[in-house]
Chains A and B, each alone.
Chain A
């Protein structure tokens, strides 16, 4: 089946021009993506609000310091779930966000149904152990989080002394906890993704259950900090202003573990990109442009500017990028003002942005354009699933196979692998929790145990052998070649399979000396819907989840779905201190 034969997305216009794969799938651009209204957190919150999920604490057993057990019951549209959380004391000196840690401030699990006493004991025994524990197939997600100690203590101090915390502090660190791992998809005995998809249909979208777990963690963190403040000073403590609560998210540290996922799930990644690009194509080519829309877009741009002005990025390059983005956004706003009544088509804006501004700005603009047309974008939210299966077509003539490589993998063939730098690094699994790591040839051990992530190099090798097979061995079909070179089966079927997908493989050399894995992380995180990227090196990145999202107490109230690019709330000082704790 060639690309033209591939079925389009449901309800997708067939003839809309979409951005080229060479543009969309470049590693550098992947590293510039931002959340959109199709990001998983946005979709999740829309569904929770639309379906009015009922989420209540059924067990609240915390001591004055906030340690103990809390269970929430979640009545979603199609099922009942329990979110079980254990809070334990953790000495500051052993608090570690790396995957190799073995103790955490909070550990938690999302389970099917109502957790009875027996299951609760099983969870209490195993959940705090995380990777070292065992769970059963009633458990959907396992996660843990570490306290942002300075922020947490400051918040407790403020609330316990009857004051609201300074919003500036939250702008700097917009969370009380950082989650350091969120496991699903059958790990440690939990429910398989296929079971989740079939049986727990409230979470039958990629990473929906994992995102929900983080959302519940955020809810708990707000509950806990107020509980501790109240326990410390029952007569003085105040509840946190709900506007401040909404401005709290959950911190996240993401490292190299995400990179192999993206390379090993190219069909899923291609699907996500295609859904988003379909939405963009719908908007750009069919979205009606008028002065009102332009006004709306300018208001969004103003919000993006403030959002980025409020970010404190420790990473120097990210700080430069943010500053540049702010300048670009100001220029964009001026441009919009100039052509408010003359702009007739969003493609004009898209072309202008490509000429004037960098990738980061272009992708923010694309994200904002999607916000203007929820009616044409949101129906695509249910199309993010894809089955990851590589199928070999062994009867394919070698000449046709070679042509596919030349057409779809030109980017890989353009890499000169005779240059040392193009193969200077390698990926391997450490014996420490099988953590993926990046090694340097000639410096680090493990080259002989390299993980197969160098797709470009494998394509190149395959291409060269095809030539030999055709010219020297007179092989006619792919099957002939694979009998001679069985080791090529994996890359051959990947090439054939990905040729059937519009966006195909990520276009980058992951073993190049200068590879920036954070581009991969950023891509996936943008689909999750995080904000405030702050790379800590080229290998891991901090970010914030759910900042600005509605609170549990907002469910059932009017919802505008406008919590993207959140900005600090402005509080009236006189009213803030009057809210007594009512937990």
Chain B
């Protein structure tokens, strides 16, 4: 079924509310999915993959205080949750650190659906003159490293992208036998010092061994324009899932309840 972005966002909000996400999180989660999908990165496939897992484990809110950390990275344990419910908090922490100490480095451990973090990164990048980078890797044997890099809006005016920020997203194969960081984590870096930020990234990035894909801000803009023009196709299985989750937040209608609508 073809849906508008607004309609899909509203439907997903209700689904995530049905999964136990609270105000703020269910809105963000819906935006994360729709952003990815409307910018050509298959957000719906990502969420469809994660839904059975999310469905088995209704979301429980607990403290997300940092668990450990070396002298550089502050670590938060997502405890196997999707980034849909916790990446925003991790990015906010990185941002706060960057405001306080120039550089914010946060490791989100044991988080799923990491590609969905991009929308939150874009959102963070809209703040002031901050730069944000997220990276992670996944796969067994053939490991793929993903790097999302937000450039502060003021520094990208030459490209004519003034009112919105778009990231550069690249992924590529790396050698999986000598990883520099934990494969189950999502790493977030924030700083207003872009050179410092890129310097940090160099320390962690691996050598590209093949299949590099780079998605530029311009490609994101074009993909979004097409989605806005035509809407988004949602498959029947996902629609059924959305419908079932939405049922959880609806209340049975009775003659008594109709009086609560003025009948």
Chain B residue nearest to A477 (CB atoms) is B96
Chain B residue nearest to A482 (CB atoms) is B89
* B235 part of interface (Cβ distance < 8 Å): no
Chain B 47-80: CB-based contact to A (< 8 A → 1; otherwise 0):
0000000000000010111100000000010000
A486 with B89: in contact, given A193-B6, A435-B261, A437-B261 (CB under 8 Å)? yes
The number of chain A residues with a CB under 8 A from chain B is 63
Least CB distance, B47 to chain A, in whole angstroms: 19
Chain A residues contacting B247 (CB-CB under 8 Å) are 431
Chain B residues contacting A443 (CB-CB under 8 Å) are 256
Partner of A189, one of B7, B23, B65, B251: B7
Chain B residue nearest to A448 (CB atoms) is B251
Chain B residue nearest to A392 (CB atoms) is B92
Chain B residues contacting A490 (CB-CB under 8 Å) are 22-25, 27
Query: Which listed segment binds A: B135-143, B180-188, B223-231?
Result: B223-231
Chain B residues contacting A485 (CB-CB under 8 Å) are 63
* A91 part of interface (Cβ distance < 8 Å): no
Chain B residues contacting A136 (CB-CB under 8 Å) are 2, 231
Q: Determine if B249 and A429 form an interchain contact, defined as CB atoms under 8 angstroms apart.
A: yes
* A430 part of interface (Cβ distance < 8 Å): yes
**Docked CA distance A189–B239 (Å):** 14
Chain B residues contacting A391 (CB-CB under 8 Å) are 123, 126-127
Chain A 438-461: CB-based contact to B (< 8 A → 1; otherwise 0):
111001111001001000001000
**Docked CA distance A136–B99 (Å):** 45
* A428 part of interface (Cβ distance < 8 Å): yes
* A194 part of interface (Cβ distance < 8 Å): yes
**Docked CA distance A483–B25 (Å):** 13
Query: Which listed segment binds B: A45-53, A503-511, A533-541, A567-575?
Result: A533-541
* B252 part of interface (Cβ distance < 8 Å): yes
**Docked CA distance A186–B127 (Å):** 28
Q: Determine if B25 and A486 form an interchain contact, defined as CB atoms under 8 angstroms apart.
A: yes
Chain A residues contacting B178 (CB-CB under 8 Å) are none
**Docked CA distance A100–B64 (Å):** 43
Chain A residue nearest to B27 (CB atoms) is A490
**Docked CA distance A101–B24 (Å):** 33
A429 with B228: in contact, given A189-B3, A192-B4, A394-B92 (CB under 8 Å)? no
Chain B residue nearest to A493 (CB atoms) is B24
* A20 part of interface (Cβ distance < 8 Å): no
Q: Determine if B65 and A483 form an interchain contact, defined as CB atoms under 8 angstroms apart.
A: yes
Partner of A486, one of B61, B95, B253, B258: B61
A539 with B261: in contact, given A186-B4, A188-B7, A490-B22 (CB under 8 Å)? yes
Residues of B with Cβ closer than 8 Å to A? 1-7, 22-25, 27, 61, 63-66, 76, 86, 88-89, 92-93, 95-96, 99-100, 123, 126-127, 228-231, 246-254, 256-258, 260-263
Given contacts A100-B258, A395-B99, A479-B92, 5 further A-B contacts (CB under 8 A): A134-B1, A134-B2, A391-B123, A445-B252, A449-B251
